[in-house]
Amino acid sequence: MSRPSPRRVFDDPQSAWSFLTHPNDDEFEGQHFDRKEAGRPVGGAPVSRSALDGVKELVVKTVSAFANSNVEGGLLVLGISSTGDVVGIDHLGEDQRNSITNLNTLLRTHAAEVKCYHCQDASGADKTLCLIYSAYLPNAVCETAESTSKAWVRNGHQSLLMSQEVRDHIRLRKGLLDLDSMPWCPFSPDDLDADVVTEFRRVFHPEVTDDFPDDRLLREAGALVTNNDAAWFTLPGLLFFASNPQRILSHAYLRLLKFVVPSSQYQNRGNRSHPGVYFQ
C-alpha cells in the first residue's frame, strides 16, 4: 500500500481514510505514522489518571521522535485502535484533552500542530479524533522541559530514548555541535610531536606565548580542552600535534594533492595534476 505524506493526511484526513483505519497496525504505523487509543473508560467511569499519563507519555516521545528524525515530520493519531476501529477521544473531558495536547508545557522545543477531526465510526456514530502533526526541527533537538531533558528518535514503528551518543550525532547533523571543540581523548605530554610543537610555537603569537608551557600553548590554540578536570585533545589538536594520532584514529590518513602552478597563482590553480597520494 502506498503511504501518503504525514502532512497531507493531517490537512485532509478524509482523503486517506482507508489508510487511517487500516485493520492492521503494521500497515499503518512506521517511521512517519503512529496511532493509539486515548485510554478507554471502564463501566462508564472516567479514564484513570495512570492511563491518561500513559497517553501523555506517548504523545511526548512520539512528537519528539518525529521532530528529531524525519525531514517529512510525522503524524500521531489519537482515537483509533490497533485494529483500525474509530473509538474517538470523546470520553475525555476538556481538561484531560488539554493535558495531553498542551505541548508547550510538555516539550521545550517543537513545531507540532494539533487539531480535532470530527468523523463517524463504522456504525455511523459521531466521533472525534485528535491529530498531531510533528514537523521536523532542523535547528534544535525536540526534548522535554525538565532540567534533565529527554529526547527520542524514531526507528520504524518505535520511538527510542536518545543516548548521549545519539544526541551528539543528532546535534552534529543539525549543525548544533562544534565537533572541533569537543574533548576527543585524554592528553599526555608523551603523545606530542616535539618538532611540530616547536615549529608551532615559533609562529603562534610568539610575543605572547613564548614562555607558555606546552599544555597552555595548546589550550590557547584550541588543541586542548578541560574535561572532568583533566586535559583532553580536541580532534584538530590530536591530528595536528600528536606524534601518532592513528593510535586513537586508526582510519586517519593524509592525502597530498599536486597542482603544477606557481605559488603566486594558487587562487587560479585549476584542477590538480596528480590523483593524490595517501599516507596512512
Instruction: Kindly indicate the confidence band of residue 246, based on its pLDDT and cuts at 50, 70 and 90.
Output: confident
Instruction: Kindly indicate the confidence band of residue 253, based on its pLDDT and cuts at 50, 70 and 90.
Output: confident
Q: What pLDDT does residue 272 have? A: 65
Q: What pLDDT does residue 277 have? A: 47
Mean pLDDT confidence for 78-106: 95
Q: What pLDDT does residue 1 have? A: 56
Query: DSSP states of the chain as a string?
Result: -PPPPHHHHHH-GGGGHHHHT-S-GGGT-SSSEEEE-----STTPPPPHHHHHHHHHHHHHHHHHHHHH-TT-EEEEESB-TT--B--STTS-HHHHHHHH-HHHHBSS--EEEEEEEEE-TTS-EEEEEEEEE---TTS--BBSSSS--BEEEETTEEEEPPHHHHHHHHHHTT---GGGS--EE--GGGB-HHHHHHHHHHS-HHHHTT--HHHHHHHTTSEEEETTEEEE-HHHHHHHBS-GGGT-TT--EEE----S-GGGGGG--S-SS--EEE-
Mean pLDDT confidence for 127-135: 98
Exposure pattern of 145-180 as b/e (b: 16+ CB <10 Å)? Answer: eeeebebbbbeeeebeebeeeebeebbeeeeeeeee
Mean pLDDT confidence for 77-104: 95
- Least confident segment among 141-150, 232-241, 254-263: 254-263
Domain boundaries, the chain: 6-173, 181-252
pLDDT cut 90: percent of the chain above it? 68
Q: What pLDDT does residue 243 have? A: 92
Taking the C-alpha atoms of residue 17 and residue 36, their distance in angstroms, rounded to an integer, is 16
Taking the C-alpha atoms of residue 47 and residue 25, their distance in angstroms, rounded to an integer, is 23
Instruction: Kindly indicate the confidence band of residue 274, based on its pLDDT and cuts at 50, 70 and 90.
Output: low
Single pTM value for the model: 0.69
Mean pLDDT confidence for 160-184: 85
Homologous superfamily of 6-173: Schlafen, AAA domain (3.30.950.30)
Mean pLDDT confidence for 235-242: 92
Taking the C-alpha atoms of residue 12 and residue 19, their distance in angstroms, rounded to an integer, is 12
Mean pLDDT confidence for 171-185: 82
Q: Residue 62: which region, alpha, beta or left (left: phi > 0; alpha: psi -120 to 50)?
A: alpha
Is the pLDDT at 254 greater than 90? The verdict is no
Taking the C-alpha atoms of residue 165 and residue 171, their distance in angstroms, rounded to an integer, is 10
Q: How many CB atoms lie within 10 A of CB 259?
A: 14
For all residues of the chain together, what is the average pLDDT?
90
Query: DSSP states of 208-243 as a string?
Result: HHTT--HHHHHHHTTSEEEETTEEEE-HHHHHHHBS
Q: What pLDDT does residue 275 have? A: 58
Mean pLDDT confidence for 50-77: 96
